Structure 1
């Protein structure tokens, strides 16, 4: 009977075959229809959707602006962390005050996201409080925004180059 003959949709025409399964998917004929066997990177009836494990695996969520990427094996994920963060999900803030960053001359290190800042004691300045200011003593009144320390009786000590 002619109605019982299965048409092989996968090989009906070469042009149609290439449009049935996309992105390297293999067409498999079934009785009265077909299915596409997709590569591991794609899914969907015609393998038309790109599979990104970052969109489906809740454990792969990256925090603090981290970027989720599929791992090289195509199974898991990894997070590319922004400056100042580390760890599998970028949850850990890096303490920039530890290690090679230090404040000289008893400066106090403030850990900021992706950087640090030294609070320099009076008389010092620079990124790491590494410079010492020159002292100029005067008996005149001081303008605002100038660090002042007592020198001797009736005079003030001005620190220059202070940040």
Structure 2
């Protein structure tokens, strides 16, 4: 309230300012002809920018309007503000005189309202008890259904695998999910059960919906083929793995066993792996074999051998003095005959003395002399 009074006085002062500005020039002119003014007369002065109102001694400052007039500062009505201040002051004085209590009529209205609220709460509580007794208190929903209370009734929210008013009717998922990704896959047979279903998978598939394909080569967790590469195949019999092995060279799968665990004896094969002309010995090993060395007169790795032409080197070892022809053969060679006048095997030729036999064919009384190439003198 004190703030409201201060605001009102502020409005009065602003109003005096507006009126004083209009009379400032007139007062200035009067001051030029200033006469002596008694203390009973009101005065309005401009002092260093301040506008000062002074009344006569024991006199008031009054504002008087017509019956419909108002005293305003800007848009604020000072008359209404004063009326509101008086009303507020009367309310405050009443509260002070009655110890801050609530007026009797307000108290009566509050008491009546509280009584009505209590009665309404009691009726709601009784209604809830009645609805609960009639509906969900008997647990009508089965198989995990959720019960919702209604007015003098109930409603069951059933899980997907149950239906009906009380969730007691089994849903045939085999019909509902047929042809969808939620049902059995890959040719499996669907079997409905109470509240669920099962899938009977074909031999090649597994899983709850038969979506997992068997890979016997990978699922075995070991090398099924041992010395070969495992190739998965479609199972024919449920629970029986199906695969085949591509064996490495030198290994084969024995009868009744797909794994490559039997050694192949390459030396006994119809087509011999080592040279046959010339014949080279074959030696079998586990998963492999090797060939012996090529015989003399041949060169190669034993798998194949090529003839060596001995005559190309040092005339094959045949005599060069006298010169004897070297004749190469497959895997060997031989030397020709020593020339006339020489005797030997062609590798070594020794000059013969033809005069020692029958005087070399000369007349008995003649002298025989032997020379190379069988020339006689």
Query: Superposition pairs for residues 80-91 of structure 1, below 5 Å?
Result: 80-87=246-253, 88=257, 89-91=259-261
Report 1 or 2 for greater relative contact order, CA contacts < 8 Å, sequence distance ≥ 6: 1
Partners of 1:130 and 1:47 lie apart in 2 by 61
Structure 2, unmatched stretches of 5+, are: 1-164, 320-377
CA contact (8 A) 2:203 2:235 kept: no
Deviation sequence 1:97-134 (CA, Å, 0-9, x none): 22320433242335575675563234224674453221
Q: Which has the higher helix share?
A: 2
CA contact (8 A) 2:298 2:307 kept: yes
Partner of 1:98: 268
1:25 to 188, 207, 226: 188
CA contact (8 A) 2:280 2:291 kept: no
Q: Which has the higher strand share?
A: 1
Query: Superposition pairs for residues 140-155 of structure 1, below 5 Å?
Result: 151=317
RMSD: 3.6
Partner of 1:35: 198
SS at 1:119's partner residue? coil
SS at 2:167's partner residue? helix
Offset at 1:49?
1.3
| Runs of 4+ residues over 6 Å off in structure 1 | 57-60
Partners of 2:313 and 2:296 lie apart in 1 by 15
SS at 1:97's partner residue? helix
Structure 1, unmatched stretches of 5+, are: 140-149, 154-163
TM-score with structure 1 setting the length: 0.64
TM-score with structure 2 setting the length: 0.32
